[in-house]
Amino acid sequence: MRVLSGIQPTGRFHWGNYFGAIRQYIDLQGKREDAFYFIANLHALTTVRNRDQLAANTVDAALDLLALGLDPEQATLFVQSDVPEVSELCWLLMTGAPLGLLERCHAYKDKKARGLTADAGLFSYPVLMAADILMYDSDIVPVGEDQVQHIEVCRDLAAAFNHAFGEIFVLPKAKILDTSARVPGIDGEKMSKSYNNTLEVFEEPKALRKKIMRIVTDSRPLEQPKDPESDHLFLLYSLFADDAQRDEMAATYRRGGFGYGQVKKALADLAESYFAEARQRRRDLEGDPARVREILGDGAARARKKAAEVLRRAQSACGVKF
């Protein structure tokens, strides 16, 4: 069994990225025969149009993933563009991709509905994603609910290719990530870079603490009891707290007689402690850029070995190699 997933380097990873996806990717490594994780810089080109920013984001993504626990001995980490075979496979799939199928994909539809310009990159994004998955004979693809449609598109494209040219591609299955731990931003809405409401994993502690102290709360009196389950500050606290800490804080909410500043300070303390070891690992990695390049280079070599095998299979099947 092979698990594969990619993450876009569109900015520094925040708590939503970590608890919603990255932590679960790391938990999967070593539990399958293979785990392939890539930094999706080709996908990021649909939104990041600055050369230096994209390059820096890609390096930051590698540092962050390694610091957070991705182990190159248990998983293959590489940069998407270091495997050029994926672009050729994308074209082979594109030649048989129905326009109607791509027009129904939500990312394209949503952008058009908002009156924004949708370029060919966004329109064909699901085909490149399909190539990413099929390139490595992936069995399992961990995704959030909003990405399930893209796995279905991948399966449709693979099945159509197989029907035309023989059983070439493995049809992958989606593994729905556990998003039960909702991660609100500092304004109470879903944490997202597009909302400018994020708390970054590796933000400097003082700057992070200032952001936490600015988290929006209601104006209920200190003495009034409050429901912890409906409070986004408590939800953030719960991400880091153990069961005893969570129960104690919930009891404080229900009892009343506390200020939100008390909760914010406790949240900042827990978050700083939770990521302390990862922060030190990241500093160590920053001081050894040759090691990071080596890890990405080794990962790309392993990925290209498998990619070449799958691409040759597809090329021979459809007649562009003979």
Written as six digits, the tokens of 269 are 């303390």
166 and 61: one domain?
A: yes
What pLDDT does 179 receive? 64
In tens, the pLDDT along 64-102 reads 999 999 999 999 999 999 999 999 999 999 999 999 999
91 and 240: one domain?
A: no
- CB distance 144 to 21 below 8 Å: yes
What is the number of structural domains in the chain? 2
97 and 56: one domain?
A: yes
| Average pLDDT rounded to a whole number, residues 51-65 | 98
Helix, strand and coil content of the chain, in percent to the nearest 5, comes to 60, 10, 30
Q: Which residue has the higher pLDDT, 276 or 181?
A: 276
231 has a pLDDT exceeding 90: yes
| Average pLDDT rounded to a whole number, residues 244-271 | 97
| 139-165: burial string, b at 16+ Cβ within 10 Å, e else | bbbbbeeebebbbebbbbbbebbeeeb
Residues forming the active site: 111, 190, 193
157 and 241: one domain?
A: no
Q: Which domain holds residue 74?
A: 2-182+289-318
- CB distance 138 to 3 below 8 Å: yes
CATH number of the domain at 9, please: 3.40.50.620
Pick the range with the lowest mean pLDDT from 17-26, 51-60, 294-303. Answer: 17-26
Q: Has residue 190 been placed in a domain?
A: no
| Average pLDDT rounded to a whole number, residues 110-128 | 88
97 and 233: one domain?
A: no
139 and 168: one domain?
A: yes
What pLDDT does 49 receive? 94
What's the CA gap between 224 and 255, in Å, rounded?
8
What pLDDT does 33 receive? 61
CATH number of the domain at 259, please: 1.10.240.10
| Residue listed under structure tokens 């030649």 | 95
Q: Has residue 189 been placed in a domain?
A: no
Please give the helix or strand (H or E) that residue 138 lies within, else none.
none
216 and 259: one domain?
A: yes
73 and 123: one domain?
A: yes
What pLDDT does 180 receive? 59
